Structures are given as structure tokens and as C-alpha cells.
Amino acid sequence: MKTHCILGQRKLKQSDIVHARGHNNREEDVGNSDRSAPPPSVIFGPQDAWIGVRDRLKDLGIRPRKGAVLALELMLTTSPEWWPSDDPVRYVMQLRRFIRRSMRYLLGRYPRCAIMSITLHSDEQTPHLHVIVLPVRKRIDRRFADKGERWTLSARGDLPPKRTKDGPKPDYSTFWRGAIGSRGQMAYEQTVFAKVMEPLGLERGRVWSGAPNKPNAVHQAEMRDAIAAANSEREGLVRSREVLTSERARIGQCKAAINDKLAEVEALLTRVRADEARLAEQRRAFDLERAEFDEKLVKVRRWKAGLDAQRDRVVEERDKLAESAPKVAALAEAAIKALRSIDLERIPEHERSIVMQAAHAIGRPLEAADGAHWAIAAARTELKASRPSRGR
């Protein structure tokens, strides 16, 4: 950030000198000053600036005309950012450097006898120096007979020639430096002051910036208006802050309710996820059971198909047996009749067993024949009864 050195200049008449004395010595109330700060410090000159100016003019043999400009007031200061606020030792060192460089500028621009008073103010935002000097110089005064050099009072200064459009810039250093002349000369004084203050890291502001120099009364009025506007804005901000605080509390309650609902939703979501996992496990088990059931169903269908085929074969065999049953029954009756007609006595004994085995072989399958109207048991009984007893 750039920091600038500032040089203010104004002309003082008798009443202005008295007012400047009251301001510099803080005999008058200054609205923007800090009452707890140290009082003004007079670095050089008397306490009463007007008495000092009057006596010095008398010592120099100058009798000013009525209403003439008797002195010049210079205000030397810097940007507020140049002063350290957190280090008192560094602040004092910079203040000493600033005063020494300011004295170098004053002694280089004005005669020693012209410097009347130097007052340091530390009770405002930025420390600054108030300097009262006499616009005096020695020159030949032809009004006297000796035509010698005398001290003369002139706050007007020598007017430089008018600057042409294509002409060179006037060198203001060749003109009377102890007065406030044209605007160009005042700008030149600020440039010279900036060159002296350059070792301190201070720079000159923009040349011909057009920024007006406001009087302190106007500045104080603007400050009061700004303070009133700031207070009004502060009250509005306080009300807005209260509204925002209530809104913040309400939002906090809504947030707490939302957090509770969110916790419930998260718990419900956890349960739903657990149910989904359980359902997924059950679905996998069901899929396995279904696969096993499908395999068993395939086997059952195959078994049923085999049973159906076997049933068809059984039905077909049954139909065949049903068709051959009458024939078998007839053959059985014929066989039984044939067996009944056999005379076992006539059959040799060694052949009887063969005949009996044949009869049994014929009669055993005939027991299960449907519709057979004979009884193999009765035939056997009759056959045994008809055999002669060997014992007899």
C-alpha cells in the first residue's frame, strides 16, 4: 500500500493568526480530537503565535499595511497507514524521523528568522505539525535613499510567465519561494516536500488530482452526518440481527426436527435394508428349493410316464387275459375232467408222482384265472380219495 506525505498551505491575517493560536494550543474545542491524548507539544516558538509574529516583524523593521497577510500556516502530515499502531517504540522513532525531515524541509525553504512556531498534534487520528512562518525576504527597496536590501513582507510571490501550449514547463524554483503564489507554485512546494520525505518511504500524491480541500467545519458536518447515518444503519443492523437471531433459532429448531426425522428415516432404512437382505436370503433359499422341486417334478413326471406306460401294458395284458379267460376256463375244465378220469391204479407207481406234478403244474396257474368255474382243491381231494391205499 502506498503512503503519501501531505503539505497544506494557507495565508493568515491577524484574526487568522489568533484563531490558529487557539486551534494549535487547543484553547478551542476540536470535535475530532481525543481528549485522553497528550496535549499539543510546542517544538519551536512561543506559546502565543500572534505576539511572536508581531515582535518578529518589528525586529525585522517591517510595518505591514492594514489587512495584509502577515504569516503562512503549513500543515505537514502523512497517510494514517504509515504510522505503526502496535509498537509504541517504533511509533516514537518514526515520529522523530518525521519531525527531523520536516525541519530539513522548512530550513531549506524559509529563512531561519521566518519560522515562528512549530506545534505537534498527537490527539487526532494522524500526528501532524502546524507551522507558522513569515513570508519575508530580503530585496532592494528603492523607496529608501540608500537603495539597500531590506526585509520585505510579501505573501503573493513572483508570478511566473503564462505557460504556452507547446512551451516548456516553468521552473518554479527560480521564483520567490517564501509565499503562496499560483497553483503551480503550490504544487511545486508539495513536490519539494515529497522529495525531502522520500527517504521515509513516503510519496507524493497525484499531481493536479482535482481533489478539493474541505474546511474543518464542512468535514465535521460530514462526519456528523456520516456518524448519524452509521448509527441509523447500526440500529437497522441490530434489528436485522435480532430478526436473524430469531430466524436462526427457528431454523435450529427446524434443523433439530429434521435431524430427528432423518434419524427415524435412517432407522427405518436400516430395517428395510435388513428386511431386504432377509428377503434376498429367503429368495435364494426358495430358488434352491424350487430348483430341487423342479428336478423332483421332472423325475415324478418321468416316473408317472413310466407308470402310465406300465398301466397301459397292464391294461393291455388284462384285456388279453380277459379275452383268453374263457378259453383257459374251458381248458381247465377239460383238464380237470381229464384228471378225474385218470385211474391212478393203472398208472405205475413210479409215474404217479409225475402225473401229480403235472396236475399241480396245470392247476396252480388256473387258480388265478378270472371267470374260472372250477376248483383245483376239490379236484385234488377227489383225486386223493380215488387212489387206493397201499397199506390195505
- The fraction of the chain above a pLDDT of 70, given in percent, is 78
DSSP assignment of 76-114: EEE-GGGS-SS-HHHHHHHHHHHHHHHHHHHHHHS-GGG
CA–CA distances in Å: residue 57 to residues 51, 62, 69, 85, 114: 10, 5, 12, 42, 9
Q: Is 170 helix (H, G, I), strand (E, B) or coil?
A: coil
Q: Model confidence over 151-166: pLDDT tens digits?
A: 888 776 655 556 667 7
Is the predicted pLDDT of residue 111 greater than 50, yes or no?
A: yes
Nearest to 116 by CA among 68, 176, 179, 72: 72
**What is the arithmetic mean of pLDDT over 224-248?**
92
Asked whether 43 and 120 are in contact (CB, 8 A), the reply is yes
pLDDT of residue 391: 44
**β-bridge mates for residue 130, sequence order:** 75, 119
Asked whether 202 and 102 are in contact (CB, 8 A), the reply is no
Nearest to 297 by CA among 305, 377, 344: 305
| DSSP annotation of 11 | E
* CA dist., res. 44 & res. 122, Å (int): 16
Amino acid of residue 325: A
Region at 152 (left for phi over 0; alpha for psi -120 to 50; beta for the rest) = beta
Least confident stretch, 125-134, 272-281, 313-322: 313-322
Nearest to 77 by CA among 113, 101, 57: 101
Q: What phi and psi values does residue 316 have, to the nearest 5 degrees?
A: -65, -40
For residue 360, the Cα-to-chain-centroid distance in whole angstroms is: 113
Residues 6+ apart with CB under 8 A from 44: 115, 117, 118
CA–CA distances in Å: residue 39 to residues 73, 95, 103, 357: 20, 16, 21, 161
* CA dist., res. 194 & res. 179, Å (int): 18
pTM exceeding the 0.85 threshold for the entire prediction: no
Q: Is 363 helix (H, G, I), strand (E, B) or coil?
A: helix
**What is the arithmetic mean of pLDDT over 90-111?**
91
pLDDT of residue 374: 41
Q: Model confidence over 339-352: pLDDT tens digits?
A: 667 666 777 777 77
For residue 335, the Cα-to-chain-centroid distance in whole angstroms is: 117
pLDDT of residue 179: 57
**What is the arithmetic mean of pLDDT over 371-383?**
45
Reported as half-sphere exposure (CB side, CA atoms, 13 A), residue 367 has a value of 10
Least confident stretch, 28-37, 271-280, 296-305: 28-37
Extract the C-alpha cell encoding 383: 383225486
**What is the arithmetic mean of pLDDT over 346-375?**
59
* CA dist., res. 83 & res. 81, Å (int): 6
Mean pLDDT of the chain: 80
Per residue in 208-232, is it b (16+ CB within 10 Å) or e — as a string? eeeeeeeeeeeeeeeeeeeeeeeee
